[in-house]
Amino acid sequence: MRNLEIVPFEGGFAERAALLLAESHADGGAGRPAGVLDLADPDVARRLVAEWQGSGPGVAAVRDGRLTGFMAATVSRLPGEQWARIRLPQYACGRHERRATWRSLYGALSGRLAGIGAYDHAVEVPAYDRETVSCFFELGFGIDQVRGFCPVTGQEAPAGPPRGTRLRAARADDLAPMFELAVELQRFHTAAPVLRPALSDLRPIREALSAALTDAAQLLLVAEEDGRLTGLVQAAADARHSGAATIGLAVVAASSRSTGVGTALVAAVGEWAAGRGFDAYGAEWSSANPVSDAFWRGRGMVPARFKLRRLIDSRVAWAEERLDYGHFG
């Protein structure tokens, strides 16, 4: 890595950064499931690089005055929030010495993030890019979330919902029981092995369900048995993946799991997506959740992207000041 210099990312790097981004994704076509945004398109890359500039710190790798790599993060603007997100359009490098370049870039960026109090780092990585996945593993990251896609064609026709259960469009009077199902899902994620703290503010879920009820561009279905809701699914066009729909929320009551309710709801999403002209539909799930991981993979979802996560002990901000080496002298 001779002559490599890590410097702050500047606006003048944008064009070369976009070309690097496009080049770095050019070889992923064969392993990229249908519906994934084509970052190999230079025009798409230029638009996305322009969008993230100014959303957080960024660093660039420069050799002999030429940009050879970059990495940037988007950080929360809310007081007390500690997260930083490195999304797919926010990092790229040339084809040579990728591992060393990633390590140098993250080494500089992580220090800047910790310096502003951002200790929860996440990075999106293409599932087919095993070299980059391995590199971030070596940097202390682990798989947190999986984003998978399934083509709308070529799927086996599933059986309908279980006897006594019907699928129907959600109504306004379903809002309260739908919200209860969403809360049940949050509580399920607090248990082992996921062990994810439940959200303290559930208003966004309530607002999203309310919006989906009146949005003709979204699908909001419920499963009903004897007047009781046993499941729900919400889907809409994916904002970041061309030609694909995405499942934003899917819940089956604990009492109705493994009965076919979830399979019927997802099959309905596939039919809806095909009718809307989508090529694929996708979902995101927690890698540590054995129920959802088995379910989504069993429904034909092919991993397209991983969200890797690294939690840094915030005590690094002050611990060094308390170290006393005097008694070793």
φ and ψ at residue 112, rounded to 5 degrees: -70, -40
Residue 35 above 60 pLDDT? Answer: no
Alpha helices in 53-124 (DSSP H): 98-115
Residue 34 above 60 pLDDT? Answer: no
Q: Which residues make beta-bridge pairs with 60?
A: 7, 70
Among 273, 263, 254, residue whose Cα is nearest residue 295: 263
pLDDT score recorded for residue 96:
81
Residue 195 above 60 pLDDT? Answer: yes
Vertex 31: Cα angle to 96 and 140 (nearest 5): 55
pLDDT score recorded for residue 197:
77
pLDDT score recorded for residue 286:
93
Q: What percent of the chain has pLDDT over 90?
A: 67
The enclosing H or E element of 46 equals helix 42-52
End-to-end alpha-carbon separation of the chain, Å?
37
The residue among 307 and 37 whose pLDDT is bigger is 307
Give the model's confidence band at 111: pLDDT under 50 very low, under 70 low, under 90 confident, else very high.
very high
* Helices and strands of the chain, counted as H and E runs: 8, 14
Vertex 123: Cα angle to 51 and 288 (nearest 5): 135
SS3 155: coil
pTM (two decimals): 0.87
Strands (E), 2-65: 4-8, 58-63
State which amino acid sits at residue 300: G
pLDDT score recorded for residue 235:
97
Among 77, 61, 28, 118, residue whose Cα is nearest residue 309: 118
Q: For the chain, how many residues are written?
A: 329
Say what angle helices 203-214 and 175-189 make with each other, to 10 degrees.
140
Vertex 265: Cα angle to 271 and 224 (nearest 5): 130
The pLDDT tens digits for 198-229 are: 766 678 888 999 999 999 999 999 999 999 99
Conformation bin of residue 227: beta by default, left when phi > 0, alpha when psi is -120 to 50: left
Tokens of 133: 């996945």
Instruction: Return the number of other C-beta atoms located less than 10 Å from residue 48's C-beta.
Output: 19
The pLDDT tens digits for 114-154 are: 999 999 999 999 998 999 999 999 999 999 999 999 999 86
The pLDDT tens digits for 262-296 are: 999 999 999 999 999 999 999 999 999 999 999 99
Stretch among 29-33, 161-165, 258-262, 315-319 having the lowest mean pLDDT: 29-33
